[in-house]
Amino acid sequence: MLKRCLTVGAVALALLPGVASAEPVTVTTLTTTNGGSVLPAPAGAPGAPLVGLIVNLPTAGSSAVLALSGLAFNTDYVMQLMVFGAGSTWNTLRAEILDPLDGDDGLDVGSTPSYVPAGYSTSHDTDGFSFAQRSGLERSAAYLGGTASVTADEMTNSGDVLLFTGVAGASDSLRVTFGLRDWAGDRSFLVRFSAEDGLSESPEPASMLLIGTGLAGLAAIRRRRAGATAQA
Protein backbone atom coordinates (compact mmCIF):
# COMPACT_ATOMS: atom_id res chain seq x y z
CA MET A 1 0.00 0.00 0.00
CA LEU A 2 1.34 3.42 -0.95
CA LYS A 3 1.83 6.16 1.64
CA ARG A 4 1.89 9.85 0.76
CA CYS A 5 2.09 13.18 2.56
CA LEU A 6 -0.83 15.53 2.02
CA THR A 7 -0.77 19.27 2.64
CA VAL A 8 -3.91 21.27 2.08
CA GLY A 9 -5.05 24.86 1.85
CA ALA A 10 -8.38 26.39 2.67
CA VAL A 11 -9.55 26.16 -0.95
CA ALA A 12 -7.12 23.86 -2.72
CA LEU A 13 -4.26 21.55 -1.89
CA ALA A 14 -0.67 20.80 -2.59
CA LEU A 15 0.07 17.08 -2.60
CA LEU A 16 3.65 16.01 -1.94
CA PRO A 17 3.70 12.33 -2.97
CA GLY A 18 6.23 9.69 -2.14
CA VAL A 19 6.68 9.03 -5.86
CA ALA A 20 7.48 11.22 -8.83
CA SER A 21 3.96 12.20 -9.93
CA ALA A 22 1.15 13.90 -8.03
CA GLU A 23 -2.58 13.20 -8.16
CA PRO A 24 -5.16 15.99 -8.54
CA VAL A 25 -6.41 15.86 -4.95
CA THR A 26 -8.60 18.77 -3.86
CA VAL A 27 -9.70 20.03 -0.45
CA THR A 28 -12.27 22.76 0.17
CA THR A 29 -13.94 24.26 3.22
CA LEU A 30 -17.59 23.21 3.14
CA THR A 31 -19.05 24.74 6.31
CA THR A 32 -18.05 26.28 9.65
CA THR A 33 -20.08 26.94 12.82
CA ASN A 34 -19.79 29.00 16.02
CA GLY A 35 -16.84 31.07 14.88
CA GLY A 36 -14.88 28.22 13.34
CA SER A 37 -12.66 29.15 10.38
CA VAL A 38 -10.06 27.68 8.05
CA LEU A 39 -7.03 29.62 6.73
CA PRO A 40 -4.12 28.72 4.48
CA ALA A 41 -0.94 28.01 6.40
CA PRO A 42 2.14 30.18 5.91
CA ALA A 43 4.89 28.67 3.78
CA GLY A 44 7.32 26.57 5.77
CA ALA A 45 11.05 26.18 5.42
CA PRO A 46 12.36 23.41 3.16
CA GLY A 47 12.32 20.13 5.02
CA ALA A 48 9.96 21.43 7.72
CA PRO A 49 7.00 19.27 8.78
CA LEU A 50 4.16 19.39 6.28
CA VAL A 51 1.41 21.57 7.73
CA GLY A 52 -1.35 22.27 5.25
CA LEU A 53 -3.92 24.54 6.84
CA ILE A 54 -4.92 26.37 9.98
CA VAL A 55 -8.23 25.54 11.67
CA ASN A 56 -9.49 27.97 14.30
CA LEU A 57 -12.04 26.62 16.80
CA PRO A 58 -12.46 29.44 19.34
CA THR A 59 -15.01 27.82 21.65
CA ALA A 60 -16.69 24.53 22.49
CA GLY A 61 -19.20 23.82 19.74
CA SER A 62 -17.09 25.41 17.01
CA SER A 63 -16.60 23.23 13.94
CA ALA A 64 -15.15 23.18 10.44
CA VAL A 65 -16.04 20.70 7.70
CA LEU A 66 -13.58 19.98 4.88
CA ALA A 67 -14.52 18.31 1.60
CA LEU A 68 -11.85 16.08 0.04
CA SER A 69 -11.73 14.28 -3.30
CA GLY A 70 -9.28 12.62 -5.64
CA LEU A 71 -7.39 10.36 -3.24
CA ALA A 72 -5.74 7.48 -5.10
CA PHE A 73 -7.03 3.92 -4.86
CA ASN A 74 -6.10 2.15 -1.61
CA THR A 75 -3.42 4.72 -0.75
CA ASP A 76 -2.66 6.06 2.71
CA TYR A 77 -2.14 9.81 3.06
CA VAL A 78 -0.62 11.68 5.99
CA MET A 79 -2.48 14.88 6.80
CA GLN A 80 -1.18 17.57 9.16
CA LEU A 81 -2.88 20.76 10.25
CA MET A 82 -2.59 23.42 12.92
CA VAL A 83 -5.55 23.92 15.25
CA PHE A 84 -6.00 27.05 17.38
CA GLY A 85 -8.51 27.77 20.13
CA ALA A 86 -7.85 25.09 22.77
CA GLY A 87 -6.42 25.95 26.16
CA SER A 88 -8.96 27.48 28.51
CA THR A 89 -12.06 26.95 26.35
CA TRP A 90 -12.20 23.25 25.36
CA ASN A 91 -10.38 19.99 26.04
CA THR A 92 -11.10 17.57 23.16
CA LEU A 93 -10.68 17.82 19.40
CA ARG A 94 -13.01 15.49 17.51
CA ALA A 95 -12.31 14.45 13.90
CA GLU A 96 -14.96 12.46 12.02
CA ILE A 97 -15.26 11.13 8.48
CA LEU A 98 -18.61 11.61 6.73
CA ASP A 99 -19.34 9.72 3.52
CA PRO A 100 -21.77 10.50 0.68
CA LEU A 101 -25.22 8.97 0.72
CA ASP A 102 -25.27 5.83 -1.43
CA GLY A 103 -26.56 2.28 -1.47
CA ASP A 104 -24.62 1.07 1.56
CA ASP A 105 -25.91 3.55 4.11
CA GLY A 106 -28.30 0.97 5.52
CA LEU A 107 -25.34 -0.23 7.58
CA ASP A 108 -25.14 3.07 9.48
CA VAL A 109 -26.02 2.78 13.16
CA GLY A 110 -28.89 4.94 14.38
CA SER A 111 -30.24 8.13 12.86
CA THR A 112 -28.03 10.66 11.12
CA PRO A 113 -26.82 13.36 13.57
CA SER A 114 -28.09 16.88 12.93
CA TYR A 115 -24.58 18.23 12.29
CA VAL A 116 -24.10 16.03 9.20
CA PRO A 117 -24.51 18.10 5.99
CA ALA A 118 -27.25 17.19 3.51
CA GLY A 119 -26.21 14.42 1.13
CA TYR A 120 -23.84 12.78 3.60
CA SER A 121 -23.99 10.28 6.45
CA THR A 122 -21.75 8.89 9.16
CA SER A 123 -19.09 6.48 7.96
CA HIS A 124 -19.26 2.74 8.60
CA ASP A 125 -16.75 -0.08 8.58
CA THR A 126 -17.23 -1.24 4.97
CA ASP A 127 -17.54 2.01 2.98
CA GLY A 128 -13.79 2.21 2.32
CA PHE A 129 -13.21 5.57 4.02
CA SER A 130 -11.03 5.63 7.12
CA PHE A 131 -8.31 7.35 9.08
CA ALA A 132 -5.96 4.80 7.46
CA GLN A 133 -6.85 2.22 10.08
CA ARG A 134 -4.30 -0.54 10.74
CA SER A 135 -1.69 1.37 8.73
CA GLY A 136 0.48 2.36 11.67
CA LEU A 137 0.54 6.00 10.56
CA GLU A 138 0.98 8.61 13.28
CA ARG A 139 -2.06 9.95 15.10
CA SER A 140 -1.24 12.80 17.43
CA ALA A 141 -2.10 16.31 18.64
CA ALA A 142 1.04 17.92 20.04
CA TYR A 143 1.46 21.31 21.69
CA LEU A 144 4.22 23.11 23.52
CA GLY A 145 4.84 21.03 26.62
CA GLY A 146 2.52 18.10 25.97
CA THR A 147 0.48 15.83 23.74
CA ALA A 148 -3.13 14.76 23.69
CA SER A 149 -4.31 11.23 24.30
CA VAL A 150 -5.86 9.66 21.20
CA THR A 151 -8.79 7.26 21.04
CA ALA A 152 -10.46 5.90 17.91
CA ASP A 153 -13.90 4.55 17.08
CA GLU A 154 -13.37 2.98 13.66
CA MET A 155 -13.89 -0.77 13.86
CA THR A 156 -17.71 -0.71 13.94
CA ASN A 157 -20.51 0.76 11.86
CA SER A 158 -21.11 3.57 14.36
CA GLY A 159 -18.64 5.90 12.63
CA ASP A 160 -15.01 6.75 11.92
CA VAL A 161 -13.98 9.09 14.75
CA LEU A 162 -10.72 10.23 16.32
CA LEU A 163 -10.74 11.97 19.71
CA PHE A 164 -7.69 13.99 20.78
CA THR A 165 -8.26 14.61 24.50
CA GLY A 166 -6.31 16.56 27.10
CA VAL A 167 -5.51 19.77 25.24
CA ALA A 168 -6.84 22.13 27.92
CA GLY A 169 -3.27 23.00 28.85
CA ALA A 170 -2.34 24.09 25.34
CA SER A 171 -1.48 27.77 25.32
CA ASP A 172 -0.39 27.70 21.69
CA SER A 173 -1.52 25.77 18.62
CA LEU A 174 -2.01 22.04 18.27
CA ARG A 175 -0.14 20.23 15.51
CA VAL A 176 -2.56 17.48 14.54
CA THR A 177 -1.42 14.50 12.47
CA PHE A 178 -3.43 11.54 11.18
CA GLY A 179 -3.86 9.30 8.15
CA LEU A 180 -6.60 9.19 5.52
CA ARG A 181 -7.64 6.48 3.07
CA ASP A 182 -10.24 6.08 0.33
CA TRP A 183 -10.01 2.39 -0.53
CA ALA A 184 -12.02 2.73 -3.77
CA GLY A 185 -10.24 5.93 -4.79
CA ASP A 186 -11.33 9.14 -6.53
CA ARG A 187 -14.43 9.74 -4.39
CA SER A 188 -15.63 12.77 -2.45
CA PHE A 189 -16.00 12.68 1.33
CA LEU A 190 -15.91 15.01 4.35
CA VAL A 191 -13.80 15.37 7.47
CA ARG A 192 -15.42 17.33 10.28
CA PHE A 193 -13.38 18.91 13.08
CA SER A 194 -15.15 20.07 16.23
CA ALA A 195 -14.22 21.42 19.67
CA GLU A 196 -15.72 19.33 22.47
CA ASP A 197 -15.75 19.27 26.28
CA GLY A 198 -16.32 22.92 27.05
CA LEU A 199 -14.51 24.25 30.12
CA SER A 200 -16.09 26.69 32.56
CA GLU A 201 -15.06 28.72 35.58
CA SER A 202 -17.43 26.77 37.86
CA PRO A 203 -15.77 24.96 40.80
CA GLU A 204 -15.05 21.28 40.28
CA PRO A 205 -17.21 18.74 42.21
CA ALA A 206 -14.43 18.16 44.76
CA SER A 207 -14.20 21.90 45.39
CA MET A 208 -17.96 22.12 45.80
CA LEU A 209 -17.80 19.30 48.38
CA LEU A 210 -15.15 21.16 50.37
CA ILE A 211 -17.21 24.35 50.26
CA GLY A 212 -20.32 22.49 51.42
CA THR A 213 -18.44 20.77 54.24
CA GLY A 214 -17.01 24.11 55.40
CA LEU A 215 -20.43 25.76 55.47
CA ALA A 216 -21.89 22.86 57.42
CA GLY A 217 -19.05 23.15 59.96
CA LEU A 218 -19.66 26.87 60.43
CA ALA A 219 -23.36 26.24 60.98
CA ALA A 220 -22.58 23.61 63.64
CA ILE A 221 -20.21 25.99 65.47
CA ARG A 222 -22.84 28.72 65.49
CA ARG A 223 -25.46 26.33 66.92
CA ARG A 224 -23.13 25.24 69.71
CA ARG A 225 -22.32 28.87 70.58
CA ALA A 226 -25.99 29.79 70.58
CA GLY A 227 -26.75 26.86 72.91
CA ALA A 228 -23.95 27.80 75.30
CA THR A 229 -25.22 31.39 75.45
CA ALA A 230 -28.78 30.27 76.24
CA GLN A 231 -27.60 27.99 79.08
CA ALA A 232 -25.54 30.83 80.58
Q: Are residues 196 and 227 in the same domain?
A: no
Q: Are residues 196 and 134 in the same domain?
A: yes
Q: Are residues 9 and 109 in the same domain?
A: yes
Structural domain range at position 183: 3-201
* Residues 52-85 pLDDT 10s: 789 999 999 999 999 999 899 989 999 899 999 9
Q: Are residues 166 and 126 in the same domain?
A: yes
Residue 4 has a pLDDT of 65
- Which stretches of the chain drop beneath a pLDDT of 50? 7-22, 45-50, 201-213, 215, 218
Q: Are residues 195 and 224 in the same domain?
A: no
What string of H, E and C letters represents the secondary structure of the chain? CCEEEEEECCCCEEEECCCCCCCCCEEEEEEEECCCEEEECCCCCCCCCCCCEEEECCCCCCEEEEEEECCCCCCEEEEEEEEECCCCCEEEEEEEEEEECCCCHHHCCCCCCCCCCCCEEECCCCCCEECCCCCCCCCEEEECCEECEEEEECCCCCCEEEEEECCCCCCCCEEEEEEEEECCCCCEEEEEEEEEEECCCCCCHHHHHHHHHHHHHHHHHHHHHHHHHHHC
Rounded to two decimals, the pTM is 0.76
Q: Are residues 206 and 188 in the same domain?
A: no
Residue 49 has a pLDDT of 41
User: How many structural domains compose the chain?
Assistant: 2
Residue 115 has a pLDDT of 93
Q: Are residues 100 and 188 in the same domain?
A: yes
